[in-house]
Structure 1
Amino acid sequence: MEPTPSQTIGPFLHIGLPWPDGAHVVAGDTPDAIWIRGAVYDGAGELVPDALVETWQADPDGTFDHPDSPGRCEFRGFGRCPTDDNGEYEIRTLLPGAVDGQAPHIDVSVFARGLLNRVITRIYFPHLLDDGDPLLDTVPEDRQHTLIAQRTDDGYRFDIHLQGPNETVFFDL
């Protein structure tokens, strides 16, 4: 007997999982709203036009809309955006606040063809890292830049590289 050929999942995640408010964590007229924009690249450096990017974050005061959050708020904090034909995604949100001694960050999950499980990373903001971050401090210094967004005119850019020489740091949760 010969082994059954392996198969990858998708490309259906970007079709089946989006939801109406997906890319809009906050409404367009929300004061201080920013855009997080970027692209998803595969191991060959090619854009991934059928990935799905999810974000989860605290509000600007560092609280979550979750029963276990001590300062529970009304901020949804969740975004979901499929990549477009050019591999690009965008999320409209607010800058997060610090949580439990961690620098302000946004948690990111990426679902894509060829991945049997999501990959998880974080977005940090260069001007909000003054006091460091216990998780970021565990990442080798020469790889930390893969977790730090770059400022743009209306927010930040955060590209995600699934593999290769520019691979984004992913966390095993």
Structure 2
Amino acid sequence: MSDEQRNREAALTDRVVASFASTPDPRLREVMQSLTRHLHAFLREVRPTGSEWQEAIAFLTDAGHITDERRQEFILLSDVFGASMQTVTMNNEADGAATESTVLGPFFIDGSPPIPLGGDISFGATGQPCWVEGTVTGTSGKPVPDARIEVWEADDDGFYDVQYGDDRTAARGHVFSEPDGSFRFWALVPTPYPIPHDGPVGRLLAATGRSPLRASHLHFMVIAPGFRTLVTHIFVRGDELLERDSVFGVRESLVKDFVAQAAEIPTPDGRDLGGREWSRVRFDIVLAEGGA
């Protein structure tokens, strides 16, 4: 590349950066100027052709078209690039014994049904029953009462309720911790499933030889006044996908033992499972102090 060409490209970058210099909000100015520098640096390194640029625009357009109130393709795109997990990592600094955070994922929705302690979030979703229990405490070890514990997961076929399109609510709900911080509920043993891969993100993964599969997990969001809101999962120990989760969401501290129970073993609450095998897992949650 000639010096003249290099200087022309650098001058264009400088002009675009300067165009944001009068942005009133300092943070927005910082973000836009940094984004411009990095984007132009990427373009000047990769040097896309005109047709490649058009293909990239078409990809983003497709992502927008497939996104609706039930599906967020841009979250998927962020997830598979590890951008979601990096943002989580940067915004949730290590805080002693506090439970680690991980990605929210695209299938959380507000308005989950309340269930009593010891109740069942499955609401008819397919899968092996799993007794989940634990406590919510602060890093001091003091119990956190009345913490709202949102839980959601895919069914045994690998689908969340919102993916069915029939307005069902299943494998989703919330409980509140007791005065001693304890909680308990029935869920399903998590199983591996693919992130939605029938759209542009799926085509990207296929073109790059990457799997869309996520390691088996159960989602949690824990909210309590005076504590940082926790968004996390627990994962199934022994799952072969732990090392290659498609959204890079696995943390070793969140890998738990889902202990299989024979059908004849009594359940903790005396529930009759009709002769089915079941499992149990313990997840003790430690919240970091601070705002949301």
* TM-score normalised according to structure 2 size: 0.41
Q: Which runs of 5+ in 1 are unaligned?
A: 1-16, 165-173
C-alpha separation in 1, matches of 2:160 and 2:123: 18
Q: Deviations over 1:4-32 (max 9, x none)?
A: xxxxxxxxxxxxx973567411369x983
Q: Which moved more, 1:99-108 or 1:150-159?
A: 150-159
What is the Cα deviation at residue 65 of structure 1?
Answer: 1.2
What is the Cα deviation at residue 130 of structure 1?
Answer: 1.2
Q: Deviations over 1:80-137 (max 9, x none)?
A: 110012101112011122222101111110011213x63200011113x212224245
Which structure has greater strand proportion? 1
Identity of aligned pairs, percent? 27
Instruction: Note the aligned Cα RMSD (angstroms).
Output: 3.1
Quick one: structure 1 residues 26 and 131, their matched pair in 2 at CA, closer, same or farther if it must change by over 3 Å? closer
Which residue of the partner structure matches residue 19 of structure 1?
A: 114
Which residue of the partner structure matches residue 125 of structure 1?
A: 236
Question: Does the CA-based 8 Å contact 1:57-1:77 persist in structure 2?
Answer: yes
Question: Does the CA-based 8 Å contact 2:218-2:233 persist in structure 1?
Answer: yes
Which residue of the partner structure matches residue 216 of structure 2?
A: 104
C-alpha separation in 1, matches of 2:161 and 2:127: 19
Give the secondary structure class of the aligned counterpart of 1:107. strand
Question: Does the CA-based 8 Å contact 1:63-1:72 persist in structure 2?
Answer: no
Which structure has greater helix proportion? 2
Question: Does the CA-based 8 Å contact 1:80-1:91 persist in structure 2?
Answer: no
Match of 1:113 among 216, 220, 225: 225
Matched, 1:80 2:174: yes
Matched, 1:155 2:266: no
* TM-score normalised according to structure 1 size: 0.66
What is the Cα deviation at residue 74 of structure 1?
Answer: 5.6
Give the secondary structure class of the aligned counterpart of 1:123. strand
Q: Considering only CA atoms, is the larger Rg found in Structure 1 or Structure 2?
A: 2
Superposition pairs for residues 3-42 of structure 1, below 5 Å?
19-20=114-115, 23-26=119-122, 32-42=128-138
Question: Does the CA-based 8 Å contact 2:132-2:280 persist in structure 1?
Answer: yes
Count of matched residue pairs: 137
Quick one: structure 1 residues 109 and 96, their matched pair in 2 at CA, closer, same or farther if it must change by over 3 Å? same
